[in-house]
Structure 1
């Protein structure tokens, strides 16, 4: 049986979760990207929707961000490409349980084959623990409860503190892309940290990749 360990901030190690999933949509890439020293541009440049493909370190502000692994990296890493769980994850600010805090909603789009593998494995190996908890933990690196992940795995919600400014990364939500492994669990591939302000503006503050890095020319190379 595969087990889920307690969350570790953007761990670049194998995450033994119970499933396999993948997917989502695309839109035009944002031009509102900051630098590593200047994490975000002014809040007055807010766009309603942006795509973040991990070729920049930061992004924001945006009301909605669609995260996806770029096609170039998919072509270079066939192991991930053939076993990836989601094509994309869309993050949007949503109403928090505590009015003094913030929350973000994740929307997932899975490949049919991986989603079928996920549900089959969960049904066979998780008799006492809701399989949604394992999926929630793998995608967000947060400890779950029974209301965080929808029963059909389509979406999840993470509660967090509101950012005090666009540059505040004191409390962030993680967006994690994983692939399935031979044991029926998942392995971390690439991820990003995102903060949200009470206005609903989202800011990407950094990324972490397990095996790949961008060089100064914008090319993906083995890390």
Structure 2
């Protein structure tokens, strides 16, 4: 049975059990340190409190099913041709079908998780916020914040992001980002994504469609650079999956 089907069944069964037998849980209140404007962006997208309660996030890109533990950031990606993931210690690739995967597992395993979990991953620990110049597209100005990371945070702490939002609604509209995976040092070579469409997934407003854009000499978006990426079969659950779900298959 496909792992994503198992995930949905587990979420449904456990959710029903929880509804039938409510239990009192001690909830730790986290002191947030992000700017007020970003707090409004998070609120527009369902609220940081809703995000903090979620334990499992899943979505599909084509036939790939991406599933993440939001607390540990363990991840597994399954397709009919290969599987790879992060079990909390090691980034693995199923060797039985390793030849079918053409990318770099260390770079790819959490790539789309970050794009999909926007804007909420910009509230992670170890982040530095600073105001950045507005993005201008089709005569509209989008205010923004630059996000960088303290040293040794995550696998690419030199990566930077710029998030831009609608000044009237506070909905996230654009994401600019750098890639330092190969260079292992900071750079200003930004790529940019337009968040075209959003959908409500269990109370969180998460992306349905995103598009990479070309940029001009002023680092402003001009036109689509490639076809849009669409996320399907979204799932957000307060159910935590077992450790074995994220382990490398035993062939």
**TM > 0.5 fold call:** no
Question: When the two structures are superposed, what TM-score results if normalisation uses the length of structure 1?
Answer: 0.29
Structure label with greater radius of gyration: 2
- Larger fraction in helix: 2
TM-score (norm 2): 0.27
Q: Which has the higher contact order (CA 8 A, sep 6+)?
A: 1
1 or 2, which has the higher strand percentage? Answer: 2
